[in-house]
C-alpha cells in the first residue's frame, strides 16, 4: 500500500510565502466550487480506491493549495462518483478530478 | 378589556411568552397541535449545560399558565388580517379575533432517513438523538443494545449539508452529542464512545467544560471526519466508515449503536402559515426576521411576532429569553 | 401529345441544372469522403452489406419508411407526420411521375436531366389521352398534397404549440434561406404549371387556375417568368442545401445503410459520426425531450445544438455541450432519424488529452479475489449501492429467504464497473477496470452474476466478455426465484409508480421485467411519461459539468411527472435514482428489492 499522508518534519514544512499555487488557481478557473471544501473527509471515507492507494480528494485539494504534488493520487481514481454523492458542500468532484488530470503535469 | 394575543405553538417559547403576557395584563391564547405542552423539550431527558431535567422545566413552565386559555389538539386553520387585528379560525371550529399573533412554531427534527447512507430505518441499531433522549426518558426502544461495547455519534446529520437541503449549522447538536456521549459512557462505563465531527462548535457557557470533561474524565474518542458510509456486519452490528482527517487515513469501526445527530429544520406548519400572513421565508428555510441583529422578533408585518426556533436554530436558554423579549415587545405594540 | 420545342431546351432550365449539378457533385464527394474516413474493416463491411440482398432490401425499405413516409414520426405525432411525409413523399412522387411521363411520352428525352422536372413546359396537349389525363391528375394530386404540407409547415413556424412542440430550434441564416426557397418551390411550380395548362394540359388544380388567370392576364406573358422563378427557387434550395439542415435529406439516406451494416461511431467527427451529424434535421424534438431543459435552463445544450456546433466546428461549445449532458438517451429515443446523442457526446469526450493516466497496479487483487470466491452465484452491488444500504440489505434478505447460497463480491468495497470512466470518455482506463473485474469474476468459479445497479448492468452486458457466466439483472433473477416457488409474494395495496432508470430502460431495454415483478408485490400506476420517455432523475453520472444546484430542477421536474400518476410511493431500480429522488420527493421512494422484500413471506 502506498502512503500519501503528510509527514511533518522541519525539511518538509510548507512556507506559505513561497507556495506554488498556480495549479490551484488554474483549477479554480473551471471549478470554482473546489474552494468550498470543508475537509470533512466524506469523500475519502467512501472512496473505493482509497483502500489501496490513499486516494483522497480532500488531500488533493489541500495539497494543491499548499503546492504539493497530487498526480500519483489522481491516477488511482475510478471516477465512480461516490465522492460527488456524499459531499455535503455539493462539490462536483468528478469534474474536478477530470480537470486536474488534464492540467496536471506528468508525474 | 384585556387585549387578546394568539400564540401559535405550545413549546417552551409559547409557554414562556404566554406566562409573561399574562403577567403583563394581556390575554394570551395558546394553541398547541398536540395534546402535551412543551414540544421537543418535553420529550428530552436532560438539558445542558446544567443537566437540568427537561421534565422539571416543562412542569415549571406549565405551572405558570394558570389563567391562560390553552387549546390543545388544535391547529390554526386560517388567519386573516382585519383593520388592526387578526381573525383566526381554529381547527376546533372556534373563531377568534386577536390584536397580535406570536409565532412560536419551533423546529422539526431533520428526517434522518433522508440521509440514505446512514441506514436509519434500514439497520437495526441506528437511532437519532431524539430517539436516544426518549429512551433515556424510559420509553423502550428495541434498537438499543443490551450492553453496548461501542457507541458512535454522527454529528451534522442534515446540517451543514447542501445535499440535505440545509446548509446552515444546527448549532446545538455538537453540544448535545457531547452531552449524550457522556451520558452513554456513564450508563455503560465499559463501552467505547466515538464522536465523528466535522467541526466542534461548542460556543456556549460551560460547553467547553463539557468537552474537556468528555476528553479527560470520560475518555470519549473525538474523530474529525464525517461518516460517509454505514454498513452492517453479519451479526447485525453497525460498521461505520469515515476518514480520520487529522491522521489522513480512512477509519472503520464496528459499533453496537449509532446515534445520528439530526439537525433542525423549520417546522413545516410555520412554512404553511407563512403565505397566508405574507411572511417571508429565509434562505435557510426558517422564517425571515426583519433583521438578524436587533429585529429578530419582528416579522415585518404589523402585529405578527416571532419567538424561538421558528427563525433559526436556538438553544433552550436563547429560546426562553426570546420568548420573554417577545412578550414585552407585544405588550409595547398593544400599548402604542 | 406534341413536343413544343424541337431543341427540347429553354434557358430557364439553366439555374436548375446548376443547382442540381452542384448538389450531386457535393453529395458524390461527400459519400467518397465518408467512405474514405471509415476504417478499412468498416468500409468492407459497409460495401458488403450493400450487395447482400437482405440488408439491401432492408435499406430500401427503411429509406422508404423513414425518409419518405416518416413512419416513426407518424407514430409519435400524426400532424407532424403528415406534414413531413406529405412534402417528402409528395415530392418524391412528383419526381417519379415526371420520369414516368418522360419515359412514356418522350422517351428520347430521358437523358435530359431537367425534362421530368419541367415536363409541362416542353409538351402540349398531354391530357388528351386517358393515360396522360390520369398522370396529370396524379401530378396535381401530389402537388396539392405538398402544398397542404407546406401550408402546415408555415403554420408550424408561427404556432409550434399547435403541433405539440413547445420549443423548436432557431434556424440559422442559411437555414432560413433554404426554408423560404423550399416553401417557394411548390407554389411557384403550381403557378408555372397553371399558366401553361392551356397548352400542356392539366388537371383539377391547374386547369381551373389557368382559367382564372386567363380571365385576368389573358396572354402567355407570365408563363416564362414563372418557370424561371420555379427553376431559380430550385437552384437556390439546392445550392444552399449542403450548408443547411436540409442536408439531412441526402445524409439520412446514407445513414440508414451505414447503420444497417452495423457500423458504430468510431471517430468523434469523421465517418459514421459525420453522417449522423449531417442527418440531424434540426426539428428540435430533442429540446423538449431533454431533461436539462426543465425550468427553461440549458436550452442550447441538447443534441440538435451539438450537431449544429459540430458542423460549425465551434470547439468551445462542443466541449460544453458534451460535458453537460446527463446521457439519459431520451433524445436518441425520440429522434426520428436516430442520431445517437449520448454516443456522439462520449466520442467528443474521448478526444480530450490527459496528463495523468489511470493506474490500477496497486489494487489488492488477492483480497478481492478472496471476497469473490465461494459460491456459484455472485452479487455485484456496485459503488453507488454502498450509499443506499436499503438496496443491499433487501437483496440479502431475499436471497436468505429463497435459500440461495451467494457471494456479495463487493460487500467490503470493490472495483468500479468502468461505466463512469467509459462515459467520461476514458475508454482505456475503463478497459483496465473491465479487465480486472473480468479476472475476478472468471476466477471465482461462479456461473451467475446478479447485478442490481443499472449502471453496472449496462456495461456488463455491453462491454464484458464473461464466457460461462450468466449476467442477469436482479429483476429477472428474483422473478426466476418467484417462478421456482422459492420466493412467495403477497400483493400489498400500496400503489407504486415505477420510474424507469435511464441506464436500465433506454440503456438496456429492460422495461417489462421490473413491472412484472412489482406487479406481484404491489399495485402499479404509470406516469404520463414512462418507459422510453421516462425523465432522468437528474443524478446521472453521465454529466461531467452539471453541478448539484443545477440538477435540482431536473429532479423536481422528473418527480412532477411521477406524482401525476397519483401513486402512494415511487419505485425504482437504481441506487442513484433512489438517492436523488429521496432528497426532494414528497412520498416514499423505494428500490424494487425493498418492495419485494416487504411483500415476500
Residue range B137-147, pLDDT digits in tens: 999 999 999 99
Res. C198: pLDDT tops 90: no
Q: Please provide the average confidence, as pLDDT, over all residues in chain B.
A: 95
The interface predicted TM-score (ipTM) is: 0.90
Q: pLDDT category, C165, cuts 50, 70, 90?
A: confident
What is the pLDDT, as a whole number, of residue C232? 96
Give tens-digit pLDDT for C221-250. 888 999 999 999 999 999 999 999 999 999
Contacts of B153 (CB under 8 A, 6+ apart): B177, B180, B181, B193, B194, B195, B196, B258, B259, B261
User: Domain A21-103 classified CATH 1.10.1060.10?
Assistant: yes
State the DSSP string of B258-286. EEEEE-EEE-HHHHHHTTTTTPPBPTTSS
Give tens-digit pLDDT for C309-332. 999 999 999 999 999 999 999 999
What is the pLDDT, as a whole number, of residue C90? 95
Number of Cβ within 10 Å of residue C224's Cβ equals: 16
Average pLDDT over residues C526-550: 94
What residue ranges define each of the domains in chain B, with the CATH number in brackets?
4-106+267-335 (3.50.50.60), 110-263 (3.50.50.60)
Contact criterion met (CB < 8 Å) for C383 and A81: yes
What is the pLDDT, as a whole number, of residue A51? 83
What is the pLDDT, as a whole number, of residue A10? 52
Res. C350: pLDDT tops 80: yes
Q: pLDDT category, C416, cuts 50, 70, 90?
A: very high
Closest CA to C227 of C267, C200, C258: C200
- As given in the structure block, the three cell numbers for residue C50 are 450493400
Query: What is the DSSP pairing of strand B304-306 with strand B126-128?
Result: unpaired
More confident residue, B227 or C299: B227
Q: Please provide the average confidence, as pLDDT, over all residues in chain A.
A: 86
Share of chain C above pLDDT 90, in %: 77
Contact criterion met (CB < 8 Å) for A94 and C544: yes
Q: pLDDT category, A4, cuts 50, 70, 90?
A: low
Q: pLDDT category, A9, cuts 50, 70, 90?
A: low
Q: pLDDT category, A6, cuts 50, 70, 90?
A: low
Q: Please tell me which chains touch B, using 3 or more CB pairs under 8 Å as the contact test.
A: A, C
| A84 shares contact with chain B (CB less than 8 Å) | no
Closest CA to B174 of B44, B286, B263, B110: B263
Q: Where are the domains of chain A?
A: 21-103
Average pLDDT over residues A58-63: 92
Consecutive H or E run containing C89: helix C78-105
Report the residue of chain B nearest A88, measured CA to CA: B161
Instruction: Compute φ and ψ for B240, nearest 5 degrees.
Output: -110, 135
What is the pLDDT, as a whole number, of residue B260? 98
What is the pLDDT, as a whole number, of residue A17? 87
What residue ranges define each of the domains in chain C, with the CATH number in brackets?
11-242 (no CATH), 251-349 (no CATH), 365-482 (3.40.50), 489-599 (3.40.50)
Report the residue of chain B nearest A8, measured CA to CA: B247
Q: pLDDT category, C219, cuts 50, 70, 90?
A: confident
Res. C159: pLDDT tops 70: yes
Q: Please tell me which chains touch C, using 3 or more CB pairs under 8 Å as the contact test.
A: A, B
Res. B179: pLDDT tops 90: yes
Contact criterion met (CB < 8 Å) for A52 and C547: no
Q: Please provide the average confidence, as pLDDT, over all residues in chain C.
A: 92
Res. A1: pLDDT tops 60: no
What is the pLDDT, as a whole number, of residue A55? 87
Contact criterion met (CB < 8 Å) for B245 and A58: yes
What is the pLDDT, as a whole number, of residue A8? 52
Contact criterion met (CB < 8 Å) for B231 and C389: yes
Average pLDDT over residues C18-25: 95
What is the pLDDT, as a whole number, of residue A81? 94
Chain B residues within an 8 Å CB radius of A63: none
Number of Cβ within 10 Å of residue C262's Cβ equals: 11
Residues 537 to 596 of C: which have CB under 8 A from any A CB?
A: 541, 544-549, 576, 579
Q: pLDDT category, B1, cuts 50, 70, 90?
A: low
Contacts of C134 (CB under 8 A, 6+ apart): none
State the DSSP string of C486-502. SS-B---S-EEEE---T
The Cα C476–Cα C481 span in angstroms is 9
Residues 6 to 65 of A: which have CB under 8 A from any C CB?
A: 33, 46, 48, 51-53
What is the pLDDT, as a whole number, of residue C456? 96
Contact criterion met (CB < 8 Å) for B226 and A6: no
Contacts of A54 (CB under 8 A, 6+ apart): A1, A2, A3, A4, A5, A73, A76, B249
Contacts of B300 (CB under 8 A, 6+ apart): B279, B280, B288, B289, B290
Average pLDDT over residues B326-336: 95
What count of CB pairs under 8 Å joins A to C?
98
Number of H helices, E strands in chain B: 8, 20
Q: B193-197, C177-181, C355-359: lowest mean pLDDT where? A: C355-359
Closest CA to C276 of C238, C242, C244, C303: C303
What is the pLDDT, as a whole number, of residue C188? 95
| C556 shares contact with chain B (CB less than 8 Å) | no
Res. A5: pLDDT tops 80: no
Res. A106: pLDDT tops 70: no
Contacts of C398 (CB under 8 A, 6+ apart): C478, C481, C487, C593, C596, C597, C600
Number of Cβ within 10 Å of residue B275's Cβ equals: 9
Amino acid at each position: 500500500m502506498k502512503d500519501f499522508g503528510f509527514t511533518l518534519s522541519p525539511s518538509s514544512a510548507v512556507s506559505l510565502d513561497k507556495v506554488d499555487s498556480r495549479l490551484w488557481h488554474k483549477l479554480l478557473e473551471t471549478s470554482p466550487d473546489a474552494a468550498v471544501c470543508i475537509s470533512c473527509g466524506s469523500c475519502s471515507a467512501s472512496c473505493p480506491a482509497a483502500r489501496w492507494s490513499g486516494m483522497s480528494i480532500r488531500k488533493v485539494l489541500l495539497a494543491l493549495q499548499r503546492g504539493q504534488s497530487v498526480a500519483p493520487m489522481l491516477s488511482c481514481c475510478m471516477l465512480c462518483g461516490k465522492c460527488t454523492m456524499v459531499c455535503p458542500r455539493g462539490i462536483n468532484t468528478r469534474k474536478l478530478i477530470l480537470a486536474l488530470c488534464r492540467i496536471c503535469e506528468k508525474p | 378589556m384585556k387585549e387578546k394575543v394568539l400564540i401559535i405553538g405550545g413549546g417552551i417559547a409559547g409557554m414562556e411568552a404566554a406566562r409573561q403576557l399574562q403577567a403583563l395584563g394581556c390575554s394570551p391564547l395558546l394553541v398547541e397541535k398536540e395534546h402535551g405542552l412543551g414540544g421537543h423539550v418535553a420529550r428530552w431527558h436532560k438539558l445542558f449545560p446544567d443537566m437540568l431535567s427537561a421534565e422539571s422545566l416543562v412542569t415549571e413552565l406549565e405551572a405558570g399558565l394558570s389563567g391562560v386559555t390553552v387549546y390543545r389538539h388544535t391547529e390554526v386553520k386560517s388567519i386573516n388580517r382585519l383593520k388592526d387585528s387578526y381573525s383566526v379560525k381554529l381547527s376546533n371550529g372556534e373563531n377568534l379575533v386577536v390584536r397580535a399573533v406570536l409565532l412560536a412554531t419551533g423546529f422539526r427534527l431533520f428526517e434522518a432517513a433522508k440521509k440514505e447512507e446512514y441506514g436509519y430505518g434500514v439497520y437495526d441499531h441506528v437511532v437519532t438523538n431524539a430517539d436516544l433522549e426518549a429512551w433515556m426518558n424510559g420509553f423502550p426502544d428495541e434498537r438499543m443494545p443490551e450492553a453496548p461495547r461501542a457507541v458512535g455519534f454522527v454529528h451534522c446529520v442534515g446540517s451543514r449539508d447542501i445535499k440535505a437541503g440545509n446548509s446552515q449549522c444546527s448549532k446545538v447538536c455538537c453540544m448535545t452529542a457531547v452531552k449524550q456521549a457522556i451520558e452513554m459512557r456513564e450508563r455503560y462505563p465499559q463501552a467505547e464512545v466515538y464522536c465523528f465531527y466535522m467541526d466542534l462548535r461548542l460556543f456556549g457557557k460551560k460547553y467547553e467544560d463539557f468537552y474537556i470533561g468528555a476528553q479527560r474524565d470520560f475518555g470519549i474518542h473525538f474523530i474529525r471526519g464525517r461518516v460517509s458510509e454505514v454498513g452492517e456486519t453479519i451479526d447485525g452490528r453497525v460498521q461505520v466508515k469515515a476518514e480520520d482527517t487529522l491522521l489522513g487515513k480512512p477509519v472503520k469501526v464496528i459499533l453496537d449503536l449509532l446515534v445520528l445527530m439530526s439537525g433542525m429544520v423549520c417546522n413545516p406548519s410555520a412554512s404553511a402559515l407563512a403565505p397566508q400572513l405574507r411572511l417571508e421565508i429565509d434562505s435557510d428555510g426558517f422564517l425571515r426576521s426583519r433583521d438578524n441583529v436587533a429585529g429578530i422578533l419582528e416579522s415585518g408585518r404589523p402585529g405578527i411576532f416571532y419567538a424561538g426556533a421558528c427563525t433559526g436554530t436556538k438553544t433552550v436558554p436563547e429560546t426562553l429569553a426570546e420568548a420573554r423579549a417577545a412578550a414585552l415587545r407585544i405588550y409595547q405594540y398593544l400599548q402604542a | 401529345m406534341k413536343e413544343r420545342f424541337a431543341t427540347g431546351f429553354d434557358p430557364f432550365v439553366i439555374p436548375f441544372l446548376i443547382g442540381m449539378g452542384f448538389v450531386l457533385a457535393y453529395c458524390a464527394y461527400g459519400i467518397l469522403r465518408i467512405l474514405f474516413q471509415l476504417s478499412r474493416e468498416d468500409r468492407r463491411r459497409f460495401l458488403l452489406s450493400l450487395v447482400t440482398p437482405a440488408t439491401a432490401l432492408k435499406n430500401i425499405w427503411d429509406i422508404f419508411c423513414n425518409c419518405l413516409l416518416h413512419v416513426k414520426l407518424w407514430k409519435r405525432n400524426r400532424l407532424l407526420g403528415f406534414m413531413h411525409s406529405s412534402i417528402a413523399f409528395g415530392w418524391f412522387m412528383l419526381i417519379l411521375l415526371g420520369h414516368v411521363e418522360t419515359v412514356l411520352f418522350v422517351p428520347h428525352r430521358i437523358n435530359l436531366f431537367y425534362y421530368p422536372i419541367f415536363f409541362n413546359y416542353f409538351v402540349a396537349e398531354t391530357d388528351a389521352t386517358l393515360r396522360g389525363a390520369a398522370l396529370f391528375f396524379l401530378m396535381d394530386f401530389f402537388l396539392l398534397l405538398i402544398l397542404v404540407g407546406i401550408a402546415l409547415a408555415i403554420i408550424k413556424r408561427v404556432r409550434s404549440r399547435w403541433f405539440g412542440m413547445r420549443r423548436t430550434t432557431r434556424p440559422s441564416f442559411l437555414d432560413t434561406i433554404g426554408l423560404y426557397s423550399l416553401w417557394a418551390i411548390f407554389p411557384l411550380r403550381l403557378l408555372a404549371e397553371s399558366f401553361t395548362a392551356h397548352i400542356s394540359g392539366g388537371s383539377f388544380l391547374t386547369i381551373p387556375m389557368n382559367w382564372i388567370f386567363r380571365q385576368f392576364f389573358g396572354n402567355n406573358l407570365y408563363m416564362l417568368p414563372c418557370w424561371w422563378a420555379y427553376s431559380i427557387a430550385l437552384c437556390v434550395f439546392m445550392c444552399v442545401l449542403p450548408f443547411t439542415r436540409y442536408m439531412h435529406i441526402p445524409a439520412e439516406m446514407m445513414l440508414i445503410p451505414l447503420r444497417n451494416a452495423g457500423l458504430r461511431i468510431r471517430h468523434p467527427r469523421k465517418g459514421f459520426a459525420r453522417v449522423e451529424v449531417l442527418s440531424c434535421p434540426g426539428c428540435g424534438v430533442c429540446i423538449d425531450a431533454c431533461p436539462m431543459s426543465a425550468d427553461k435552463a440549458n436550452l442550447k445544450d441538447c443534441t440538435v445544438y451539438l450537431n449544429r456546433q459540430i458542423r460549425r466546428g465551434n470547439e468551445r461549445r462542443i466541449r460544453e455541450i458534451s460535458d453537460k449532458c446527463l446521457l439519459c438517451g431520451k433524445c436518441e429515443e425520440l429522434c426520428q432519424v436516430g442520431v445517437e446523442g449520448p454516443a456522439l457526446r462520449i466520442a467528443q469526450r474521448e478526444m480530450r488529452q490527459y496528463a495523468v493516466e489511470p493506474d490500477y497496479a496497486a489494487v489488492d487483487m488477492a483480497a478481492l479475489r478472496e471476497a469473490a470466491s465461494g459460491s456459484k452465484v455472485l452479487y455485484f452491488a456496485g459503488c453507488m449501492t454502498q450509499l443506499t444500504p436499503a438496496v443491499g440489505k433487501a437483496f440479502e434478505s431475499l436471497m436468505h429467504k429463497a435459500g440461495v447460497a451467494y457471494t456479495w463480491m463487493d460487500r467490503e468495497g470493490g472495483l468500479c464497473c468502468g461505466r463512469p470512466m467509459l462515459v467520461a470518455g476514458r475508454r482505456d482506463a475503463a478497459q483496465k477496470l473491465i479487465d480486472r473485474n473480468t479476472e475476478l469474476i472468471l476466477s471465482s468459479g461462479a456461473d451467475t452474476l446478479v447485478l442490481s445497479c443499472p449502471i453496472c448492468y449496462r456495461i456488463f452486458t455491453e462491454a464484458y466478455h464473461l464466457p460461462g457466466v450468466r449476467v442477469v439483472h436482479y429483476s429477472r433473477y428474483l422473478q426466476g426465484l418467484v417462478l421456482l416457488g422459492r420466493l412467495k409474494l403477497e400483493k400489498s395495496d400500496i400503489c407504486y409508480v415505477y420510474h424507469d432508470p435511464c441506464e436500465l430502460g433506454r440503456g438496456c431495454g429492460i422495461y417489462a421485467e421490473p413491472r412484472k415483478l412489482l406487479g406481484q408485490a404491489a399495485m402499479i400506476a404509470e406516469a404520463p411519461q414512462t418507459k422510453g420517455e421516462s425523465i432522468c432523475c437528474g443524478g446521472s453520472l453521465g454529466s461531467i459539468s452539471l453541478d448539484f444546484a443545477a440538477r435540482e430542477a431536473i429532479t423536481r421536474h422528473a418527480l412532477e411527472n411521477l406524482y401525476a400518476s397519483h401513486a402512494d410511493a415511487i419505485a425504482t431500480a437504481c441506487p442513484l435514482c433512489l438517492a436523488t429522488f429521496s432528497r426532494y420527493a414528497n412520498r416514499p421512494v423505494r428500490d424494487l428489492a425493498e418492495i419485494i422484500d416487504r411483500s415476500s413471506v
